[in-house]
Structure 1
Amino acid sequence: MEQRELKRDLSNRHVQLIAIGGTIGTGLFLGSGKAIQLAGPSIIFAYFIVGIALFFVMRSLGELLLSKAGYQSLTDIAEAYLGPRAAFVTGWTYWFCWIMTAMADVIAVGVYVKYWFDIPQWIPALICLLILLGLNLLTVKIFGELEFWFALIKVITILALIVIGVILLVIGFKTHTGTVSAANLWAHGGLFPNGFSGFLLSFQMVIFAYVGVELVGVSAAETSNPKKNIPSAINKIPLRILFFYVGALIILLCINPWTQLNAAESPFVKTFSLVGIPLAAGIINFVVLTSAASACNSGMFSTSRILYNLSKTKQAPASFEKLNKNHVPSRALWVSVIVLSAGALLSKLIPEEAFGIVTTISAICFIWVWGVILVCHIRYRKTRPDLHAASTFKAPFAPFINYVVLALFAVILVIMLFADATRPALLLTPLWFIGLFILYWMRKNRAKRT
């Protein structure tokens, strides 16, 4: 007899490390190189601003998740406060978000492997996809174990970078480009060497660095004690942002003047090479490679489960709801992986531009998802004042801060319109939303006729 329910084999140990590791990904390890080239040391402020904005998004999500025990996904929240059409568009857009994010990670795998082997990027990208597909077709417990160790590696790496960086700062270590010093933050053209415009143009890649942060709240909601774990996980986000993002970037730019970093390389690998530890640079390249594989693994897991949930709510074909003998939604997984393989194809066709195009589309779609969370929270406060009054985890400064963050997102989208690198993706992405609205209209009309 066919199994009809997903098997929940993730322990609290898995969830906690996945929550930490989920805030550290390819956007930081690889994408920060491009962002630093655009903004110089002012990139630190960009990461801080976006990080704090997303903390308020998460506080809104936390209050919404705790307001009703039945919420299992962002789609449920969107349907409750914005209606079925918004739920349909948001559910499918969230799937597309993770497809684009995982595609960027697949492309990154190819970039990292080129550090050791001069082979076309698409080959290791495709091999990575096939290996992860095989593992995901087994059990959710294997996914949890993989992510636990991948996350642990990422956390240890950044800890090591910060500790080593502080030691090099204290002893005044000299590299072939100069002395490791805090002065490197402003000695090469100031904090804003490319002006305010360069600072603004970096926001797209900074947004991409934080994609998936909402998983912290959603994962905590699936634990045995969400009333305790959701506030705990969300309130730790500012500390993680300051430490893992702002702290790591400050150390990187103290060791390595921003002018020495290449947009196409990982600044983490470059920094250890500069310090004169080639073996360590190779080890760090392996770490960022596992980070990209980890993020791609999360993308596979997430996209298959999103399709499964869309199928259960009749918003996707019924076949996506079918599980294999290991309680894995295998058909949904196969569909996601087939679409993901386009990342390997992009690596072959446009290896230089692929990462930038995919990360821009991902950032735009995640802005939609985060915006929906903020708008739902505004609607929740207006339509369910009783739930808000009873909440033990009220979002601070709402609804004023919701409008401020929505305005920030709007400004970032306008900035993307004026940048040559992001304009094509920004102009193409609305076609996805237009297509979804048309599809919803067709489904609704067909349902009326039957």
Structure 2
Amino acid sequence: MELDVLGLLGACSYALDCVEAELVHVTTFHAKRVAYMSVCTAEQFGVSGEALQDLAVCALLHDNALTQYLHEEFRGDSSAAECLPELPHLGAHCVMGEENISALPFHTNVENIILYHHENADGSGPFGKTWQDIPLGARIIRLCDLLDAFCRADVFTPDVWERANAFLTRVRGRIVDEECADAFLRAFSEQHFCSLGGRGLEERLWSKVPRTKQQLDFAQVKALAKFFAKIVDYKSPFTSTHSLGVADDAECLARFMGFDEDTAQKMYLAGALHDIGKVAIDNKILEKPGRLTDSEYAEMKHHAAYTYYVLSEVQDFAELRDWAAFHHEHLDGTGYPFGKNESELNTQERIMACVDIYQALTENRPYKAGMSHEKACSILLDMAEKGWLDRAIVEQVNACFA
């Protein structure tokens, strides 16, 4: 399968920003600003081509394991952690993040960049490594991540620039190394730095690291899908296996119904991505075991639209985006987010709607045991009778998963 991998991972950075904004209060586009600052700084060291592209990916994904860490450290209770730098065992999320990206399709060796991105120049970080002991990419991301977190600004003004300079002066040689601090200041004048809060940041990032498509085999597609699913599902342990469950079901049913290999692989990826918009929904709503209020339900419904808009950033991805995002649409036009009707929903979109419900009904969750296949199919059939689902596909679900 040919994919705009960098664009897909860039879209993922928005999802990570949503999580970090909720948990540790970073500002909008944090990951992309860190990536852009990292790329500009790395250019001062002569980094270019595929190495620069891979650094951009690592910067975009530097905190990919944050929700996983918070879930495992605090058993899902992020309220116990008010500020990320003060969290215990901070190196644990670096270890998890390094492992998560290990199967992604990089061009160059990125070993230890995520692992050591919280190390301090003087060796006082989680692993006790000094700046001479860690990769250049980790040193650069450390500086840019720390600086953006310190500034915590959506609008970059000369005052923010002055504060950033004063902060660099205080931490250079101790938290960030002198070489990286000097390279950053060569890359960023006051005018360049102040442009970080303006429009066009993404376009400038992609102009420095062009988004060329990559040909991936199914093992690589699955690794990419599992990476995304982990981010979504770790945000809410109430649905800790849902995304990959939908991915497996979508692939299996597509093969059962006679679709070709390429379509089956695409269905797997779309299934893994279908709920990525849930990262923008408050966990109090995601994890409410009882019935949602009207206002809570209205907010929950936004997740499908968020999925649509997040995946719209990926080049030539409209087909998979729609398969992923339309899983709550109904044939009679009463679904959401766009109120699509029977004439506007293709077979793959109808399949996704069925397998999403089937998986949700049959999987175990903390507040309920999964239903039997027979009970789940009876509910799907009732929804088909109401005009919401495609009856023929419901019958295929019954036959495939019996």
TM-score between both structures, scaled by the size of structure 1: 0.27
Larger helix proportion, structure 1 or 2?
1
Choose between structure 1 and 2 for higher RCO, CA contacts under 8 A separated by at least 6 residues.
1
TM-score w.r.t. the length of structure 2 is 0.29
